[in-house]
Amino acid sequence: MTSVKKIEIATGAAAVDARQLEQLLQLQREILEMVAAGQPTNGILAGLCQMAESMVPNSVASIMLLDAERKRLWVRSAPSIPAEGIDALNGLVPGPNAGSCGTAVFNEEPVFVCDIATDRRWADYASTAEQFNLHACWSMPIRSASDRVVGSFALTSFEARPPDAFQQRLLYTASYLSGIVLEREQHAESLATAAAAFAHMREAVMITDAHNHIIQVNHAFEAITGYSAAEAIGQTPNLLRSGRQDAFFYRDLYHSLERTDEWRGEIWNRRKNGDIYPQWLSIRVVRDDSGAVHRFVSVFADISDIKDSERKLWQLAHHDALSHLPNRLMLSARLEHAVHLAHRTQQRLALL
């Protein structure tokens, strides 16, 4: 569902007076401000539960989330529920008669149990309800940005009662806000993972903007080139040019990027200390939604060791191991080249 649709659901004014509507809007503002400020997820969710509880006296709020296997529900936030109550809730298996939260997640729809003592969906949890004096429980599924159910937001009451229109709107609002907070957390975790991978890659990474100015590099870039991030950022990749490639080489490179959005190949570049070394370079164009160039991502590795190995293998293949003089293979190769050259230039060839 789109955020616009969610907002309409959360703040719909039907059967809710202006004062109550303002309470819902204030709840949204406070939670979204906490999100924008980058406050910790656990603190935001606890604050959401406590604000909801303040609007529904004689109740406690809880947020339960599905595990990675989507088989059980675990309490993520329930600041007013004692530890033994949380232990009783943890590990709940969603099903058609799994209390309010387990049923709401299983059916992917709201579940309003008005009298726990007489509702069959709570039959298997009657002892828990009696132990903690629970008489009503209203649960709303929490959905991700892709509209997938990921958990539940619930208000559990110490008196048997149905939720009125305002309380239903509050549940919609709280579940919607929970989804936003959890989505932000997931994005932050993904970014942190990507940042860690970026920082610790063995290959150098250089990201430039649409105008080809360097905006980000990783640690491997600094190690290979000798330039620190502070020295490189704001410069162009010309900082690394060795002068070994001519203008035609770079013309072909940029034509490839324009046609296919990528280029890969061998290139010689210069370190900060002046050393010229071979790289294996891969460049990828990143475009925005309109198709315009947004970023260039370059990944490269120093292949000096590979080049040295190739040179040594060539030396061994074409020279005698003891005398280091050219061997028969080298003679054959050079003779073949000389024959072709003599034929092309119409000259005689002598072998001594």
pLDDT in tens, 314-328: 565 555 555 556 655
Residue 72 falls within a domain, yes or no? yes
CA pair distance 57, 328, nearest whole angstrom: 97
For the chain, the residue count is: 352
Strand partners, 139: 111, 154
The band of 2, judged by pLDDT with boundaries at 50, 70 and 90, is: very low
37: domain CATH number?
3.30.450.40
Neighbours of 27 (CB within 10 A): 22
CA pair distance 240, 274, nearest whole angstrom: 10
- pLDDT for position 331: 59
**Which domain covers residue 30, as residue numbers?**
3-193
Are 63 and 137 in the same domain? yes
CA pair distance 65, 178, nearest whole angstrom: 10
Q: What is the mean pLDDT of the chain?
A: 89
Counting the structural domains of the chain, the total is: 3
Which of 170, 193, 216 terminates a domain? The answer is 193
Residue 312 falls within a domain, yes or no? no
pLDDT tens digits for range 25-43? 999 999 999 999 999 999 9
pLDDT tens digits for range 55-81? 999 999 999 999 999 999 999 999 999
User: Tokens representing 105?
Assistant: 């997640």
CA pair distance 206, 161, nearest whole angstrom: 61
Residue 51 falls within a domain, yes or no? yes
Residue 155 falls within a domain, yes or no? yes
Judge contact between 205 and 194, C-beta under 8 A: no
Are 338 and 289 in the same domain? no
- pLDDT for position 201: 87
CA pair distance 161, 115, nearest whole angstrom: 7
303: domain CATH number?
3.30.450.20
Residue with tokens 């709401």: 104
- pLDDT for position 1: 39
Are 221 and 133 in the same domain? no
Strand partners, 14: none
Are 179 and 225 in the same domain? no
Are 217 and 283 in the same domain? yes
Are 153 and 15 in the same domain? yes
**98 CB burial (10 A radius; 0-12, 13-18, 19+):** buried
Alpha helices (H) along the chain: 3-11, 18-36, 41-55, 83-89, 99-107, 126-131, 165-200, 219-225, 229-232, 247-260, 304-318, 328-345
Are 63 and 113 in the same domain? yes
Which of 50, 289, 76, 36 shows the shortest CA–CA distance to 184? 36
pLDDT tens digits for range 5-20? 444 444 444 567 889 9
- pLDDT for position 317: 57
Are 67 and 166 in the same domain? yes
Are 125 and 143 in the same domain? yes
Sequence-ordered list of residues with C-beta below 8 angstroms from that of 328, at least 6 positions apart, any chain? none
Are 37 and 17 in the same domain? yes
Are 150 and 178 in the same domain? yes
pLDDT tens digits for range 140-195? 999 998 999 999 999 999 999 999 999 999 999 999 999 999 999 999 888 888 88
- pLDDT for position 62: 98
CA pair distance 127, 73, nearest whole angstrom: 19
Are 326 and 261 in the same domain? no
Residue with tokens 């209390």: 99
Residue 55 falls within a domain, yes or no? yes
Compute the Cα dihedral for 163, 76, 195, 284 and give only its sign: negative
Whether residue 313 has pLDDT greater than 60: yes
pLDDT tens digits for range 258-290? 999 999 999 999 999 999 999 999 999 999 999
**Per the confidence metrics, is the pTM higher than 0.85?**
no
Q: What is the largest CA-CA distance in the chain?
A: 112
